[in-house]
Each structure stands twice: as structure tokens, then as C-alpha cells.
């Protein structure tokens, strides 16, 4: 039985988020900044974020949009990893607030057609990132492999990167398999991982089990029940290698409810209330503060937030649509509300 009526948590960090571009950006940024103090903004825009001047402009747009709901919101920036990026360019990017570069294997997800097709072609840039203390975030799926095996096959490459670049900080993003969880646990402390909210809630059954649920379709796909269990165990364990990166990835309703639907789950507005529910149900609420507002900051060498948020026990119904997007848990009732 739940007796708590109020929960105080650190102001959360989201170490993996998409806010898109153009007219829709402001709404998505405001949803994000209403829940999080800092967010790591992904670079899979069109055109992709590959140079300092673009990233500086993008960051400014994000902060302008965030101002209305959270003037203290911090946008932590990333660039898309490509062969040939120079040390000079990396230094410029760093000075614009870039803290990580994102490795997208070619074609595995939204706007990744221009991703990496030759693994070793990006090693020189990765070596520079290691030297300059820029984190490497990896979308760990192997192109062309059967969809449920893409992450476990790519895991070998993460292991190679960890061996070849021992001082490089690597984040294996949005884990979806027990194999990847085990690998991250086994590798040294310079390798960590993000876990999304949706990968803590469902196996592939939640996407295609009893009905086709386009708003749960995402990359990497949620996998088997045993993978789901391994992810929950990792998130609930208090191991500092695992922290929140929501991969909140808005696509307009019509792009999802389509004969060729886009991958992405929109969780920005519901992530924290759902995590409270899940951590409470697993009797590990004491592990939530580090998962949402501690371990990620530590890994990225950022100061832990001193600010807090308050949730109250006050059931509310998640809207059917937010900014033209069907959010995770749409129309469902959640018990905990951020105030
Ligand atoms: O489901 C996903 N959506 N996974 C990703 O890696 C990218 C994201 C997006 O940008 O829509
Ligand atoms: Zn993503």
C-alpha cells in the first residue's frame, strides 16, 4: 500500500533527447524543459549537426524556446560523428557546449542514412575525442542484420572501441538486451549506458504482441521478456553505469500511424511520473535519485544538480496528444504528478 503523498527528487537530467527543428521545436523543447534541468540533445537533424556554427545556432534556438517554461534549462550538445572531423573543429564544438559525439551506424534509425558505414573510418576522430575528453555516444545496432539481433551483434564493436580507446568515455545508448547490459557491467568504468523509460516497460509484445502499436515502435526494438528483466534489474540496481536517457523522440501522429511508420517514443512529459511508479512498485524508490539526477552527471563530469522537484499523489490522465504527437501512456492514468 502506498502511503507517501509527496516525493522529492533531484531536478532530473535526460542524457538522450530529440527536439527536432523548425516550427515544432519550441513545443518539444518546452515539454522537455518542463521536466528536466539538463538534456543531451541528439544531432540527427536535417542537415545533421556536424559543425560548431550550426550547433551554436541550434543551442540558441533551444534555449530561446525553453526560456518560457524554464529559464535555467541547460542544453548539452552533441555532434554527429563523421570521418574527417578535425581537432580544430572539435575544439570549436567544445567551446559551443558540445560534450559528446554520436555514432549512428548507417541506416539503423531516423535520419541515419548518412551514418557511419565503415567502422574504422571514424577511428581517427574517435582518437581525438579520447584526447579532448569528448564522450562517444553509440547507437549500438548493426545495419543489415535481422532486426532483433542488431544490438547483440553490434555489442562486439562497443567492446572493440573500449579496448582500442581505453581513456575514451563511451555511452552505449538505449540498451535493449541482456547481452548489452552484461557487456556494460563487464567493461571498465569508462563505459556506461543509458536506459529509456519505454525499454523498462515493455518487451516486443508491447509493440506487436496482441496488437500493432505504432506509438511504441522505436529503435532499438524492445526485445524478449528476459531482456526486459535484465534492463529493469540494471536500472533498479544502483549501479552507476546505468542512468536515464529517455530517447524521447517525437514524430507527428500521422508519421507514426502510417504504412511506413517512423521509429520513436515520445516520453518527455511522462518519463518522471512513470519512473516513480515503476521504482515504487519495485520497492527501490531510494535508487531513483541517482538514476535520474546523479550517475549521468557523474559520468559526464558535470556537477550534480542542487535543485529538486516535487511530485504529489494526484492521479491525472495523460493527454491523447501533445503538440501533435501521441505520447507514451496516452489516455492512461498516472498517479504521481509533478508540481
Ligand atoms: O526510436 C528512435 N527514434 N530511435 C532512435 O535512435 C532515433 C529516434 C528518432 O530520432 O526518432
Ligand atoms: Zn535517440
pLDDT in tens, 56-92: 999 999 999 999 999 999 999 999 999 999 999 999 9
* CB of 26 sitting under 6 A from ligand 1: no
* Cβ atoms within 10 Å, residue 322: 18
pLDDT of residue 3: 63
pLDDT band at 37 (very low <50, low <70, confident <90, very high): very high
Domain at 6-338: CATH code: 3.20.20.140
Q: Is the dihedral of CA 317, 323, 324, 327 positive or negative?
A: negative
* CB of 263 sitting under 6 A from ligand 1: yes
* CB of 294 sitting under 6 A from ligand 1: no
Query: Which residue owns the Cα nearest ligand 1 atom 3?
Result: 264
Query: How far apart (Å, rounded) are the C-alpha atoms in residues 168 and 80?
Result: 17
Report domain extents, the chain.
6-338
Can you tell me the mean pLDDT for 173-182?
98
* CB of 196 sitting under 6 A from ligand 1: no
pLDDT band at 33 (very low <50, low <70, confident <90, very high): very high
What string of DSSP letters covers 252-306? -HHHHSSTTPPP-BB-TTTHHHHHHHHHHHTT-GGGHHHHHHTHHHHHTT-PPP-
Residues 6+ apart with CB under 8 A from 242: 175, 181, 184, 192, 193, 194, 195, 234, 235, 291, 295
Can you tell me the mean pLDDT for 318-325?
98
Q: What is the overall mean pLDDT for the chain?
A: 97
Cβ contact 154:118 at 8 Å: no
Catalytic residue among 227, 247, 290, 298: 247
Ligand 1 centroid–CA 141 distance in Å is 12
Query: Which residue owns the Cα nearest ligand 1 atom 10?
Result: 110
* CB of 216 sitting under 6 A from ligand 1: no
Residue 19 burial (C-beta neighbours within 10 Å; 0-12, 13-18, 19+)? buried
Which of 110, 116, 222, 262 maximizes ligand 1 atoms within 8 Å of its Cβ, making it the mutation to test the pocket? 110
pLDDT of residue 1: 45
Which of 16, 18, 81 maximizes ligand 1 atoms within 8 Å of its Cβ, making it the mutation to test the pocket? 18
Ligand 1 centroid–CA 306 distance in Å is 31
Cα-Cα-Cα-Cα torsion 109, 190, 186, 274, nearest 10 degrees, comes to -50
* CB of 264 sitting under 6 A from ligand 1: yes
C-alpha cell at 153: 551483434
Can you tell me the mean pLDDT for 198-227?
98
Active site residue 247: yes
pLDDT in tens, 252-275: 999 999 999 999 999 999 999 999
The pTM score is 0.98
Amino acid at each position: 500500500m502506498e502511503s507517501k503523498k509527496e516525493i522529492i527528487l533531484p531536478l532530473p537530467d535526460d542524457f538522450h533527447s530529440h527536439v527536432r527543428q523548425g516550427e515544432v521545436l519550441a513545443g518539444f523543447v518546452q515539454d522537455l524543459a518542463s521536466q528536466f534541468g539538463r538534456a543531451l540533445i541528439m544531432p540527427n537533424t536535417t542537415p545533421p549537426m556536424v559543425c560548431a556554427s550550426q550547433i551554436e545556432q541550434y543551442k540558441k534556438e533551444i534555449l530561446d524556446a525553453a526560456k518560457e517554461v524554464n529559464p535555467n534549462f541547460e542544453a548539452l550538445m552533441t555532434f554527429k560523428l563523421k570521418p574527417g572531423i578535425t581537432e580544430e573543429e572539435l575544439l570549436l564544438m567544445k567551446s559551443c557546449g558540445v560534450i559528446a559525439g554520436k555514432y549512428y551506424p548507417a541506416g539503423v534509425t531516423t535520419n541515419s542514412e548518412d551514418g557511419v558505414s565503415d567502422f574504422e573510418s571514424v577511428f581517427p576522430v574517435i582518437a581525438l575525442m579520447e584526447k579532448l575528453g569528448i564522450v562517444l555516444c553509440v547507437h549500438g545496432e548493426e545495419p543489415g542484420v535481422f532486426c532483433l539481433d542488431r544490438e547483440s551483434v553490434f555489442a562486439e564493436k562497443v567492446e572493440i572501441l573500449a579496448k582500442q580507446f581505453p581513456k575514451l568515455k563511451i555511452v552505449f545508448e538505449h540498451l535493449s538486451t541482456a547481452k548489452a547490459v552484461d557487456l556494460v557491467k563487464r567493461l571498465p568504468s569508462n563505459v556506461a549506458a543509458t536506459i529509456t523509460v519505454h525499454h523498462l516497460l515493455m518487451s516486443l509484445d508491447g509493440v506487436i504482441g496482441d496488437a500493432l502499436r505504432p506509438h511504441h515502435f522505436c529503435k532499438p526494438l524492445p526485445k524478449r521478456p528476459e531482456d526486459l528483466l535484465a534492463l529493469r534489474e540494471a536500472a533498479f540496481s544502483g549501479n552507476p553505469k546505468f542512468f536515464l536517457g529517455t530517447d524521447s523522440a517525437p514524430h507527428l501522429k500521422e508519421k507514426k500511424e502510417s504504412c511506413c511508420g517512423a521509429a520513436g517514443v515520445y516520453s518527455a512529459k511522462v518519463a518522471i511520473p512513470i519512473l516513480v511508479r515503476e521504482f515504487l512498485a519495485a520497492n527501490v524508490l531510494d535508487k531513483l535519485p541517482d538514476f535520474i539526477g546523479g550517475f549521468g552527471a557523474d559520468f559526464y563530469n558535470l556537477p550534480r544538480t542542487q535543485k529538486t522537484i516535487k511530485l504529489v499523489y494526484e492521479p491525472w490522465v495523460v493527454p491523447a496528444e501533445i503538440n501533435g504527437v501521441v505520447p507514451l501512456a496516452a489516455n492512461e492514468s498516472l498517479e504521481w504528478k509533478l508540481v
